[in-house]
A = this chain, B = another copy of it.
Amino acid sequence: MTGPRLTPLSASLPSTVPFVGPEAQERARGRPFRARLGANESVFGPSPAAIEAMERAAAQVWMYGDPENHDLRHALAGRHGVKPENIVVGEGIDGLLGYLVRLLVAPGDPVVTSAGAYPTFNYHVAGYGGVLHTVPYRDDREDALALAEKAREVDAKLVYLANPDNPMGTWLSAGEIAAMLEALPESTLLVLDEAYVEFAPEGTAPPIDAGDPRLIRMRTFSKAHGMAGARVGYAIGEAGLIAAFDKVRNHFGVGRIAQEGALAALGDKRHLAWVIAEVERARARIGEIARENGLTPLPSATNFVTIDCGGDGDFARAVLKGLIARDVFVRMPFVAPQDRCIRVTAGRPADLDIFAEALPGALADARRG
């Protein structure tokens, strides 16, 4: 019996889970984490209005969600001063990145990103047979002009930039993004992942020109809006490119509860402002804790702080291990030389108390080797 015949491309791909969930770690450990600070979720939760909308939608879940995501798209268009035709809603930025790569990348096509940037983007590129070219970080920030130069060199169809950046937390100014766009070849599309942009200082996001065919921007309800488990992301771009998503997307993929929740979250500006203020406080506190322990926090425009542990990758891994052993879920999604760092999500005061209590022991263990 020969069994199903995978395509040569599918057969060549590994069966992986890009990020192991904290639940899997908890099952393996046999006990829960005390602080969940590893996935840059918003521990401050969704807007009460969003919770109420989702609770209300639960009994209505026998109905498919609107496949056109009409109300949410129109509300987002109003918020961003673009047309609904400039917006596509999808199953998180992860889902939208998959569709975008599928639309643009055939086997062998060149794609550019930073070495150590978002693994799920790389997963999609590999999944469609694209060839990934990388550029190193410069001073722990994405190197926009080097990315543009590499895109020109390899004639990239797509170049990925997260601003603010994950996993470093650092950011570029709107001016730097604009300069990068100017430096890009005309037929290279910049996918600007702005998952964390609500946490960034004014002047981080370039003004939105939805008519620009060189740029597609990704936004999400998973971070500042505290709805990671609802899976709602959206892309803003030129209408022709946005319409192309209808060629390939799972039209009913964003369900009714998710759409209702996102719509309500969008309307609650007060909650968003509160979350952003709490995240600022938490970033400062994480910085203090790091410094008290002789470590260096990197500047952050996100809801996490990347901490330079001052050693090599093995040392940082040992610190991570010590924190996890002390029931603190954190991650270290870096490649060298950024793997000297660990990444800690902005938590509530009680979460950060636990982190503060665990860190000295984790460091002592790591120093003992």
Question: Which chain B positions have C-beta within 8 A of A368?
Answer: none
Which residue in chain B gives the minimum CB-CB distance to A15? B246
Which residue in chain B gives the minimum CB-CB distance to A67? B21
In the complex, the answer to whether A17 meets B67 with C-beta atoms within 8 Å is: yes
Question: Which chain B positions have C-beta within 8 A of A98?
Answer: 250
Question: A17 is contacted by which of B27, B63, B68, B241 (Cβ under 8 Å)?
Answer: B68
Q: Decide: A21 near B68, CB < 8 A? Known: A231-B253, A258-B255.
A: yes
In the complex, the answer to whether B231 meets A4 with C-beta atoms within 8 Å is: no
Question: Which chain B positions have C-beta within 8 A of A2?
Answer: 186-187
A293 contacts partner chain B, Cβ-Cβ < 8 Å: no
Q: Which of A3, A4, A9, A42 gathers most chain B CB within 10 Å?
A: A4
With both chains docked as a complex, state the minimum distance between the C-beta of A224 and any C-beta of chain B, in angstroms: 11
Which residue in chain B gives the minimum CB-CB distance to A253? B91
Q: Decide: A231 near B255, CB < 8 A? Known: A13-B247, A58-B55, A127-B248.
A: yes
**Bound complex: CA A74 to CA B310 (Å):** 43
With both chains docked as a complex, state the minimum distance between the C-beta of A316 and any C-beta of chain B, in angstroms: 23
With both chains docked as a complex, state the minimum distance between the C-beta of A132 and any C-beta of chain B, in angstroms: 17
Question: A157 is contacted by which of B4, B43, B238, B258 (Cβ under 8 Å)?
Answer: B4
Contact mask for chain A residues 223-258; partner B; CB cutoff 8 A; 1 contact, 0 none: 000111111000000101101111110111111111
Q: How many copies does the complex hold?
A: 2
Q: Which of A186, A213, A214, A229 gathers most chain B CB within 10 Å?
A: A229
With both chains docked as a complex, state the minimum distance between the C-beta of A146 and any C-beta of chain B, in angstroms: 22
Q: Decide: A105 near B19, CB < 8 A? Known: A228-B64, A247-B13.
A: no
A350 contacts partner chain B, Cβ-Cβ < 8 Å: no
In the complex, the answer to whether A103 meets B58 with C-beta atoms within 8 Å is: no
In the complex, the answer to whether B253 meets A95 with C-beta atoms within 8 Å is: yes
In the complex, the answer to whether A103 meets B257 with C-beta atoms within 8 Å is: no
Question: A229 is contacted by which of B23, B60, B240 (Cβ under 8 Å)?
Answer: B60
**Bound complex: CA A298 to CA B246 (Å):** 34
Question: Which chain B positions have C-beta within 8 A of A9?
Answer: 106
Question: Which chain B positions have C-beta within 8 A of A24?
Answer: 66-68, 70
Q: Decide: A62 near B157, CB < 8 A? Known: A4-B241, A103-B7.
A: no
Give residues of chain A (297-350) contacting chain B, Cβ–Cβ below 8 Å: none
Q: Decide: A251 near B106, CB < 8 A? Known: A4-B189, A64-B41.
A: no
Give residues of chain A (126-147) contacting chain B, Cβ–Cβ below 8 Å: 127
A39 contacts partner chain B, Cβ-Cβ < 8 Å: yes
Question: Which chain B positions have C-beta within 8 A of A186?
Answer: 1-3
In the complex, the answer to whether A8 meets B64 with C-beta atoms within 8 Å is: no
Q: Decide: A250 near B94, CB < 8 A? Known: A60-B229, A227-B61.
A: yes
Give the interface of A toward B (CB within 8 A): 1-10, 13-21, 23-24, 27, 36, 39, 41-46, 50-51, 54-55, 57-68, 70, 91-92, 94-95, 98, 102-106, 109, 127, 157, 186-187, 189, 213-214, 216, 222, 226-231, 238, 240-241, 243-248, 250-258, 261
List 13 interface pairs A-B (beta carbons < 8 Å), by A numbering.
A4-B103, A4-B157, A10-B104, A10-B247, A13-B247, A19-B252, A39-B64, A45-B62, A46-B62, A55-B55, A55-B58, A91-B250, A230-B255
Closest 8 CB pairs of A and B: A229-B256, A3-B213, A54-B58, A15-B246, A13-B247, A7-B106, A62-B226, A61-B229
